[in-house]
Amino acid sequence: MRPFDYQRPDRLDHAADLAREGGKAIAGGTNLLDLMKLQVETPQTLLDINRLPMAQIAETDGGGLRIGALASNTACAVDPRVRRDYPVLSRAILAGATQQLRNKATTGGNLCQRTRCYYFTNIDQPCNKREPGSGCGAIGGFNRIHAILGASDECIATYPGDMAVALYALDAEVEIAGQRGSSRTLPVRQFHRLPGDTPQRDNNLEPGELITGVVLPPPRAGKQLYRKVRDRASYAFALVSVAAIVEMDGDTIRNASLAFGGLAHKPWHDPRIDAVLSGARPSDALFAEAADLLLEGAEGQGHNDFKIPLARRTLLAVLREATGGAA
């Protein structure tokens, strides 16, 4: 690990100033410290934001729930309001990492975690994300965990998290603080980026901006599911995951909101899938149509070809469970 300066601001505006000057925010450090040890990340200044008052989970005036950026993953997953009203979020968080990591990992940090692409974390290998213009070791290399949707010629990495997949299904918003007291809100579905020709950028945070919280909308009716397919039963990233919120009205789907993990550089949400399901009667043909929409344009890279049928089967299984089975 390379030497670095260490700052502990206790005011948000001071933290934003230091971030604009190049300080790298650290909270739980469950991803960043690993990357620093590997010299994938080499910040000049570490900006410890743990003194900022951003760990609260509180109800909003609009009937939703605001989760502070520094609320730990454990605190969020076990919060009685989250378990009761947003079980897809609790289940997604508990499907990730280990208890020790969830105790330290934070809501803001979880959103900003970086890909686990093998070539990204090995500084002896080419990687456009780590070093723009150096090439992509995964294209033509070993790419079992890589993207089948939304990839580019520059990068085929996947976003590794679970929590954000549930937040996409919930259509949450991200609160962001900028310079001189400015703030903005971004729909979480617009927070992460596809790689395009700038794979070094994982998300749409601008330099100097910090996440301050995540706002969940008022609870939705219906069944909430999170299904994660992985190589082992715990402490493994998703090969495919599905977060689903499905409300039935008799034998018809009243509303559906689905998001997918493990498939792309960002959690995947396709509004056409929600639209085709909402108002329709469950059937194998309907579920197949939803899967066709999901996998339209899906492309394997060789070792990860299996993800295409796996994503289809996982989606069908989730829809059958959420609707009580096909007609």
Residue 20, CA distances (Å) to 13, 23, 87, 262, 305 in order = 11, 7, 36, 31, 41
How far, CA to CA in Å, does 23 sit from each of 3, 19, 43, 113? Answer: 14, 4, 7, 17
Residue number with CB closer to ligand SF4 (74 or 121): 121
What six digits make up the tokens of 71? 């609320």
* Residue 237 makes contact with ligand SF4 by CB under 6 A: no
Per CB under 6 A, the list member of 16, 65, 112, 155 interacting with ligand SF4 is 155
Strand bridging mode 5-7 / 45-48: parallel
Cα separation of 249 and 266, whole Å?
A: 31
Q: Which stretch binds ligand SF4 (CB under 6 A): 58-66, 90-98, 111-119, 181-189?
A: 111-119
The CA radius of gyration of the chain, in Å to the nearest whole number, is 20
Name the minimum Å distance from CB 206 to ligand SF4.
22
Q: Is 160 in the site for ligand SF4 (CB under 6 A)?
A: no
Pick out residues in 195-224 that bind ligand SF4 (CB under 6 A).
Answer: 199
Asked whether position 127 contacts ligand SF4 by CB under 6 A, the answer is: yes
Residue 216, CA atoms < 13 Å, CB-side half-sphere: 28
Nearer to ligand SF4, 130 or 220 (CB): 130
- Please say whether the beta carbons of 86 and 57 come within 8 A: no
Among 120, 159, 191, 237, binds ligand SF4 (CB under 6 A): 120
Q: Which is nearer to ligand SF4, 25 or 136 (CB)?
A: 136
**282 contacts ligand SF4 (rule: CB under 6 A):** no
Q: Strands 223-229 and 65-68, how do they pair?
A: unpaired
Site of interaction with ligand SF4 (CB under 6 A): 115, 117, 119-120, 127-129, 136-138, 155-157, 199
